[in-house]
Amino acid sequence: MNYLVIGNGVAGTTAAEQIRKIDGSGDIMILSDEKTPFYSRIRLIEYLAGQAQAEDIIIRKQDWYDRNLIRLSLNSPVREIEPDRKEVVLSGGEVLRYDRLLIATGGVSFVPPVPGSDKEGVFTLRTIQDADDIIRYGKERKKVILIGGGVLGLEAGNSLRKRGLDVTVVEFFPRLLPRQMDPEGAGILKAQMEGMGFSFFLGARTKEITGEGRARGIILEDGASIEGDMIIISAGVRPRASLAQKIGLTVNKGLVVNDRMETARRGIYAAGDLIEHRETFYGIWNAAEKQGEVAGINMAGGDALYEGTTMSNVLKVVGVDLAAAGDIDADGVHDSLVMKDPDRYIYKKFVIRDGILSGCILYGDISGYRRVIKAISEKRNVEGMRDALSRGDVSGV
């Protein structure tokens, strides 16, 4: 049996690992268009800040592939898939055959149609190559503008702040981290970041990137002008779905798959930041890992189902711990218990619907977060724990 995996991220690598556990003799090959074996995109921020080297963030080094009899082909972008012939064509023209194919091409940074986004000095951050380009260009710059106040943008900004650059954040939403924070929690985060030296323009839309050939700043829709000699766009991720679209597969929020991670084409599976499952696009590490596991098991003849992942993020924002899971009720329409300590930059929120814990935000102190996320996943009733939760005490959850 020939197994071919397009993509060497967490979904593709996990799938290959699962295939090998079930099928000890099949041929497994992973194709990657990058130069580096499977690495942690989460730790790109450390790399960008100069706090980790490339080898430090590599999760699977070459000896792992060798031990598992998995062939890894780096710098091997795929040009097209020929499903009727069960072939994949590489950009150089080489043709590879498969019996089972996994498309795990992940996502690509979204660049809004802002005039000037193609100028020198404008970057996105998704890959280790992107980080290398930013580090190289940033050595001779003083002011960076971040377009986007999401997690990746803020972390990239903090990394560059550590390298000595002044950082200004421009965010379309009226608050930072709109997916992980409600207005009150975001206000505490903003105050803490301002204390670190960040500047903010919230509820602001970029009209144009200025400069003759090289970025020199931006103009906002309200006419305000911001100077900067380097710009990083962090406006979210879109599925990297061109290969799937070329062979007629359905792409909505992502490439549509069933519970077995199968596409509409027999023998072709998909997983990771590329896919949409039950009308949901996840774009988070733990979901991609589980999807890759299910895909690999089924590709090797097993029987596994993916039934979704609780939307949760456990991360650091400018060096501060943040955990957000489930429904954070950003609009404040549900029953919530809130504990906050602005002086220590701590914010905890527990969203309760019909007595069931349905979401949380833990900022500045995430102790017990695993317990909380498990309770959300299990739809646990917490009516008897209201007093404790209102004090931020999760020990009884």
Supply the pLDDT for residue 368: 93
Q: What is the percent of the chain where pLDDT is above 90?
A: 88
pTM of the model: 0.87
The answer on pLDDT for 180 being more than 80 is yes
Over range 121-128, report the average pLDDT: 95
The answer on pLDDT for 304 being more than 90 is yes
Over range 50-63, report the average pLDDT: 95
CATH topology for the 2-108+237-299 domain: FAD/NAD(P)-binding domain (3.50.50)
Supply the pLDDT for residue 101: 98
Supply the pLDDT for residue 128: 95
Over range 251-266, report the average pLDDT: 97
Supply the pLDDT for residue 125: 94
Q: Average per-residue pLDDT in the chain?
A: 94
Over range 318-333, report the average pLDDT: 90
The answer on pLDDT for 312 being more than 80 is no
| Residues near 200 by beta carbon (within 8 Å), at least 6 away in sequence | 149, 168, 169, 171, 176, 190, 193, 194
Over range 381-397, report the average pLDDT: 94
State the Cα–Cα distance between residues 175 and 363, nearest whole angstrom: 15
The answer on pLDDT for 301 being more than 90 is yes
Over range 209-227, report the average pLDDT: 96
**Tokens standing for 299?**
């590709």
Supply the pLDDT for residue 121: 97
For domain 312-390, the question of CATH label 3.40.50.2000 is answered with no
The answer on pLDDT for 315 being more than 80 is no
Over range 369-373, report the average pLDDT: 92
Over range 125-148, report the average pLDDT: 94
For domain 122-233, the question of CATH label 3.40.50.720 is answered with no
The answer on pLDDT for 314 being more than 90 is no
Supply the pLDDT for residue 311: 77
Q: What is the percent of the chain where pLDDT is above 70?
A: 100
Burial-class residue 184 by CB neighbours within 10 Å (0-12, 13-18, 19+).
Answer: middle
Over range 7-35, report the average pLDDT: 97
Binning pLDDT at 50, 70 and 90, where does residue 242 land?
very high
The answer on pLDDT for 231 being more than 90 is yes
Give me the half-sphere count of Cα atoms (radius 13 Å) on the Cβ side of residue 1.
14
Binning pLDDT at 50, 70 and 90, where does residue 84 land?
very high
Supply the pLDDT for residue 152: 82
Over range 178-204, report the average pLDDT: 94
Supply the pLDDT for residue 323: 92
Domain with CATH 3.50.50.60 in the chain: 2-108+237-299, 122-233
Read off the pLDDT of residues 91-116 as tens digits, 9 standing for 90 and up.
999 999 999 999 999 999 999 999 99
State the Cα–Cα distance between residues 196 and 215, nearest whole angstrom: 25
Domain with CATH 3.30.390.30 in the chain: 312-390
Supply the pLDDT for residue 303: 96
Supply the pLDDT for residue 319: 79
